A and B are shown apart, each in its own frame.
Chain A
C-alpha cells in the first residue's frame, strides 16, 4: 500500500503511523458524556470508504487525513489535517463524533 503525502509524494505505507478514525479530530462538547463515550468507543468498521488520521512519521511529520477503500484498498485522497476545512468548526459542534 502506498500513500501519497501532499508534501513528500508517494511513499511506502511503512513510513506512516496509523492513528485512527477521523472522528478523533472532533472534540465533543464538554459535559456531553454520551458524546464523549461515542467519540472514544463507537466506530462503524465500514467495509468501503473510510477517512482516517495517519502520521507521516518517517517523512515530513505531517498529520494526514487519508480517504481510502477498505475493500479495494484504493487510496482516494490524502489531505493535511491542517488544511482540512471544517475541523476547527467541527470541534464546536454539539454531539461530538459525527
Chain B
C-alpha cells in the first residue's frame, strides 16, 4: 500500500472573539489504559500516576487523563511493559480535540456543558456532555480542551463556534 495521508478530524482554521480562541488540537497518540484488577501499574507508569477520578497526571508532554471507572487515556508514548498490567486499546483515530482558551471560555462552554466550569482548574478533567455528545473535558491553562468522538467532531465544532459567536455578540452590545 502506498503512503496514506492522515487527515485531521476537522481541518479547520481557528476562530475567536477578542483573545478567546477556538482551535483544533492534534491529540497525537491516544491509548485507553484500564489496569487489571490488583495489577501494579504504578511502577510501569512512573513518573505518571494512574489518576483519581477527575484528575490529570502529567509530566512534560505525556498526560494520563481519567476517563471513567478504572480507565484513563494516555496521551503520548506507551511505556514498555504497560500491556502486561493493563488492558490497552488504541484510541488515536477515535477522538477529535478542540481547544477553547482565553477570556470567556467558561461562559461560552457553560452554554453547552452542565457543570460548574468555574470550579474546574488545570490538572482536572470531567466526563460529561457537550449538548448531547459524550465529552471528555480537560481544564488547561486559560481554558479547556474538549474531546469528542471523531464522528461528532463537526457537530461539536459547530456547537462551540455558535456559542462563541452568540457570546461575542452579547458582549458587544
Contacts and interface: CB of A to CB of B under 8 A. Distances in A.
Interface string A1-45: 000000111011011000000000000000000000000000000
B69 to A, nearest CB: 5
Interface in B23-70: 53-54, 68-69
B114 A59 contact: no
A15 B135 CA distance: 11
B53 A8 contact: yes
A61 interface: yes
B92 interface: no
Contact of B69 (A7, A12, A14): A7
Interface residues of B, number: 13
A12 B114 contact: yes
B127 interface: yes
B82 to A, nearest CB: 21
B156 to A, nearest CB: 14
Given A8-B127, A12-B114, A15-B128, A60 B68 contact: yes
A58 B53 contact: no
A58 B128 contact: yes
A73 B98 CA distance: 38
Interface in A59-77: 59-62
A41 B135 CA distance: 36
Contacts of A58: 127-129, 134-135
A72 to B, nearest CB: 24
